[in-house]
Amino acid sequence: MISEKMIHMVNNSSAIRAMFEEGAKMAAQYGAENVYDYSLGNPNVAAPPQVKETIRELLEKEDPVRLHGYMNNAGFEEVRQTIAEFLNRKYNTSFSMKNILMTVGAAGGLNVILKTLLNPGDEVITFAPYFGEYRSYVSNFDGKLVEISPDTETFQPNLKELPKKITPKTKALIINTPNNPTGVVYSEETIQKLAEILNEKQKEFGTAIYLISDEPYRELVYDGAKVPYLTGYYDNTIVGYSFSKSLSLPGERIGYLVMPDSLTDGDLIISAAAVANRILGFVNAPGLMQLAVAECLDCKADVEYYNRNRKLLYDTLKRLGFSCIKPEGAFYLFVKSPVEDEKAFCEKAKEFHLLLVPGSSFGCSGFVRLAYCVKYETIVNSIPAFEQLAKVYFGGDQ
């Protein structure tokens, strides 16, 4: 009796849930400390103490009617202004309050902007490997997700293939840098070439192609890697940001969209996005958290924690003969499966209590994703399991 679209979604989700449930079962059977769950992107780093302090102060000083009340669907005005000014200082931009829309996380923001932009049948391009939810988000508005095949050498976006995939129906391109699942940061050169291609195609087709930059991992970078701020490279850029990882608040659902004045039909998009936020049922981003994050823009979850995990896991896997790109950001490693069928590899890993996610979930089979936002001890304790796994494929002592 339910929606046919949803029956399909439930079946897909069941596979993922089955994996989680198997993980829980394994934890019950062998003890949680003996199961090495690299499947989930749930930060294991506490929110910076300023978050707690700020919330406590807000509860003391703010009138609860205002603190917990409705505000403009776009969010509290002073929160939006504070964020605009923060971005202007940091990225030399010139945003004001009107360019910022507070959202229920980046997932909320992406849905708001896709609702705003898409007509049924419109095409949205993304580069494989990509966060699998993009497919659902685009499908929510009857758009068509168009994949660009991966460059499995560098995991930079495959710009050779891009021009061939852009059509007059291309409404948007979603990119995600630092990237889930590869941890790769798109270089400035990549961004410049990408902007060039998009500008040419806009001219060729007389259309606007919006570049939607999904940036939940912007603050999580290592070794001084630079993440270009995309509005400076391409006029039709819309940024979706989340505090889920930067402040370790994933369950609080707080983020924002940046919609610059330079957008084609910018004013209309800005108005429509606020309406979309309302009618999709978000109404507004959670109020207390809006006010809290605005006072914590200079804070950051402990990136060194992730960096230590990154080093240990990367070095271990390389030492054991696995091959993967050293990530410059986010908290994922994308490892080449030693056999073509990466699902079989995941099954084998499970025998050693290692839970990995097949790359086909990200539109890139032949690889597996490891989320290293786990406890450091989990990585230490999992090393013998990886050693045994390596032996299966590479033999001998590693």
Residue number with CB closer to a copy of itself (81 or 158): 81
**Interface mask toward a copy of itself for 232-251; x: CB under 8 A:** ----------------xxxx
DSSP designation for 327: P
CA distance 127 to 374: 27
- Minimum Å gap between C-beta 1 and a copy of itself is 5
Reference 261, options 225, 297, 237; nearest CA is 237
Q: Which two tokens stand for residue 226?
A: 């630079």
Of 78, 265, 304, 347, the residue at the interface with a copy of itself (CB under 8 A) is 265
Structure tokens at 259: 């919609």
The yes or no reply on residue 312 touching a copy of itself (CB under 8 A) is no
Among the listed residues 144, 278, 308, 311, the single contact to a copy of itself using CB under 8 A? 278
Residues 83-102 that bind a copy of itself (CB under 8 A): none
Nearer to a copy of itself, 56 or 319 (CB): 56
Q: Decide: is 321 part of the binding site for a copy of itself (CB under 8 A).
A: no
Cβ atoms of 335 and 368 within 8 Å: the answer is: yes
**207 forms part of the interface with a copy of itself (CB under 8 A):** yes
In the complex with a copy of itself, the residue whose CB is nearer, 259 or 324, is: 259
Structure-token pair, residue 35: 């199961």
Give the whole-angstrom CA distance, residue 100 versus residue 223: 30
Q: Is 71 in the site for a copy of itself (CB under 8 A)?
A: yes
Of 23, 43, 129, 228, the residue at the interface with a copy of itself (CB under 8 A) is 43
Q: What share of the chain is helix, strand, coil (3-state, %, to 5)?
A: 45, 15, 40
Identify which of residues 76 and 186 has a Cβ nearer to a copy of itself in the complex: 76
Contacting residue, 10, 15, 24, 32, with a copy of itself by CB under 8 A: 10
Q: Nearest to residue 166, comparing CAs of 118, 229, 211, 130?
A: 211
Q: Give the DSSP letter of residue 374.
A: S
The answer to the question of residue 24 lying near a copy of itself (CB under 8 A) is no
Q: Which helix (H) or strand (E) holds 257?
A: strand 255-258
Which ranges constitute the DSSP H helices of 31-183?
Answer: 49-61, 64-67, 77-91, 105-117, 133-140, 162-165
299 binds a copy of itself (CB under 8 A): no
By rule CB under 8 A, what count of residues binds a copy of itself?
78
Separation of alpha carbons 213 and 239, rounded Å: 5
Please name the residue that has the structure tokens 């707690």.
52
Q: Which is closer to a copy of itself, CB of 244 or CB of 365?
A: 244
Residue 383 interacts with a copy of itself (CB under 8 A): yes or no: no
Binding mask 103-142 for a copy of itself (x = CB under 8 A): -xx-xxxxxx--xxxxx-------------x--xx--xx-
* Contact call for residue 357 and a copy of itself (CB under 8 A): no
